């Protein structure tokens, strides 16, 4: 279908900044639906640690790609790009505007710009690398990546085990560098794109993150992680909030230290998110405390 007159409004920003709340307000204003591009919220076994929208939020506007997958499925950004575009095609048949929200920059770019085409990799390679991650540590994998693909080693978020593991998967599985598959011609989209970013003073962001982690612990994050502990080698669980608690269950961390590590690593994650999203000069930024009327007025002027 021709969706040239349709617009995808994307809400981005660091974790805990209020993206979910804003996306619902925008969806209600434009009488439309929301697709999530938060790669941690896809998985139905992970609720508390991924800050999935609560039942009231989910009922306030139709949501897509929330807890629609299992941690036991092999699901990557390329799969998401295809699924999200198919969903958008259907949503644009009944809406002129659709809202996309999430903090996963790679997944945002996949929908808006297209993702680089990577060949299918033997799943046993990921299993082996994940085992090495747990037995030998992230520095071991970082050194392996440095040896196999120096360009990617320089540019990748090296403290993100999923990114390092994925790059190594491609290097080992294809015999070529991960970087050789990057930066191909981007695909054209048949809809308009408008990106809205939320930000705030660093200390306020960090305070919100610390509070969110405390609330997650109160809501039962430790118990949720305990139920997932036996599956800790799965790729979906290589994420902040779970890794630290797995180390607590292993006896490596005390409970108090694990909680502080979650806060620290989430703050680092927020910093990486902002670095990623700030690359796009066309993003319209607002303070997270901005009046919704001001945000809507600005958006409508751009539509």
> What are residue 7's DSSP bridge partners?
97, 192
Residue 64 tokens, joined = 């897509």
Q: Are 101 and 20 in contact (CB under 8 A)?
A: yes
3-class DSSP state of 281: coil
Residues in CB range of 50: below 8 A, 6 or more apart: 38, 40, 41, 43, 239, 241
Please state, in angstroms and rounded to a whole number, the distance separating the CA atoms of residues 129 and 125.
6
User: Is 19 one of the annotated binding-site residues?
Assistant: yes
Residues in CB range of 206: below 8 A, 6 or more apart: 267, 270
C-alpha 139: how far from its chain's center? 23
User: Is 15 one of the annotated binding-site residues?
Assistant: yes
Instruction: Select from 12, 4, 1 the least CA-distant residue to 189.
Output: 4
Mark 7-19 as b/e (b = at least 16 C-beta within 10 Å).
bbbbbbbbbbbbb
The values of phi and psi at residue 64, to 5°, are: -130, 150
User: Is 17 one of the annotated binding-site residues?
Assistant: yes
Token pair 């902002």 is found at: 274
User: Is 259 one of the annotated binding-site residues?
Assistant: no
First to last CA, the chain: 20
Q: Are 6 and 90 in contact (CB under 8 A)?
A: no
Beta strands 284-287 and 63-64: pairing type? Answer: unpaired
User: Is 165 one of the annotated binding-site residues?
Assistant: no
The values of phi and psi at residue 43, to 5°, are: -95, 125
User: Is 13 one of the annotated binding-site residues?
Assistant: yes
**What is the 8-class DSSP label of residue 265?**
H
Please state, in angstroms and rounded to a whole number, the distance separating the CA atoms of residues 64 and 94.
15
* Residues flagged as binding site for ATP: 13-20
* Residues flagged as binding site for substrate: 15-20
* Residues flagged as binding site: 13-20
């Amino acid at each position: 279908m021709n969706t040239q007159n349709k617009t995808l409004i994307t809400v981005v920003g660091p974790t805990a900044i209020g993206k979910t709340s804003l996306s619902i307000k925008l969806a209600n204003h434009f009488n439309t639906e929301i697709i999530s591009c938060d790669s941690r919220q896809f998985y139905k076994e992970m609720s508390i640690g991924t800050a999935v929208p609560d039942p009231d939020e989910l009922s306030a506007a139709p949501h897509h790609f929330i807890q629609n997958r299992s941690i036991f499925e092999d699901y990557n950004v390329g799969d998401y790009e295809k699924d999200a575009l198919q969903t958008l095609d259907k949503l644009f048949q009944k809406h002129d505007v659709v809202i996309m929200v999430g903090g996963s920059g790679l997944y945002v770019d996949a929908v808006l710009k297209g993702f680089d085409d990577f060949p299918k990799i033997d799943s046993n390679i990921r299993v082996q690398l994940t085992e090495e991650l747990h037995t030998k540590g992230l520095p071991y994998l970082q050194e392996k990546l440095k040896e196999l693909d120096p360009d990617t080693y320089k540019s990748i978020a090296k403290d993100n085990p999923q990114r390092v593991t994925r790059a190594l998967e491609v290097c080992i599985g294809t015999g070529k560098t991960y970087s050789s598959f990057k930066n191909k011609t981007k695909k054209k989209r048949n809809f308009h794109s408008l990106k809205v970013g939320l930000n705030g003073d660093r200390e306020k962001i960090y305070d919100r993150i610390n509070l969110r982690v405390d609330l997650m612990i109160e809501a039962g994050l430790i118990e949720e992680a305990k139920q997932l502990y036996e599956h800790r080698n799965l790729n979906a669980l290589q994420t902040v909030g779970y890794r630290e608690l797995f180390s607590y269950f292993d006896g490596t961390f005390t409970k108090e230290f694990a909680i502080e590590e979650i806060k620290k690593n989430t703050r680092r994650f927020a910093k990486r998110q902002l670095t990623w999203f700030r690359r796009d000069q066309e993003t319209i930024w607002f303070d997270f405390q901005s009046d919704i009327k001001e945000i809507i007025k600005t958006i409508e002027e751009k539509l």
